Copies of this chain bind each other. A is one copy, B any other.
Amino acid sequence: MNDIFAVVGHPLSPDAIAAQVDEPGAGGVVIFSGVVRNETGGRPVKFLEYEAHAPMAEAKLREIGAAIRARWPGVRRVAMLHRIGRLEIGESSVLIAVSSAHRGEAFEACRYAIDTLKRTVPVWKKEHFEDGEVWVGLQGG
């Protein structure tokens, strides 16, 4: 299998994750990268901080991988990485790569992976502004 599911503290690289899902029988690789935006609701963001409950986060990432295997049998390899700690504008917070024999499956599985990750994986984002900081996910919180 060689699938990879991890919460990491280092910068994420599309080249590296593409190499991780590289497989002689795979013809297509789809990569999703979530990038730190410079503003939220019009308010300039200085930087972000991500926190995870890593053991459960990695378990949930593995569950997503298992669901992909069950639903898209043409998928060859899956890699899902979430970065935590301080991230600057433009850096990648999440990187998902799926390789498959046929590209349709890679597109569908990769989208399923990020959609499900956002719902189920225990990770929290704090936005740092010039004049304060806010945990994301609860309006007015």
**Hey, which bits of chain A sit against chain B, CB under 8 A?**
13-15, 17-18, 22, 24-35, 37-39, 89-90, 92, 99, 103-104, 106-107, 110-111, 114
Contact = CB atoms under 8 A, between A and B. Distances in A.
A35 to B, nearest CB: 6
A32 B28 contact: yes
A38 B14 contact: no
A25 B13 contact: no
Contacts of A90: 22, 24
A108 B33 CA distance: 15
Q: Which 10 A-B pairs have the closest CB atoms?
A: A14-B14, A24-B38, A31-B31, A15-B15, A29-B33, A14-B18, A107-B111, A27-B37, A14-B15, A30-B32
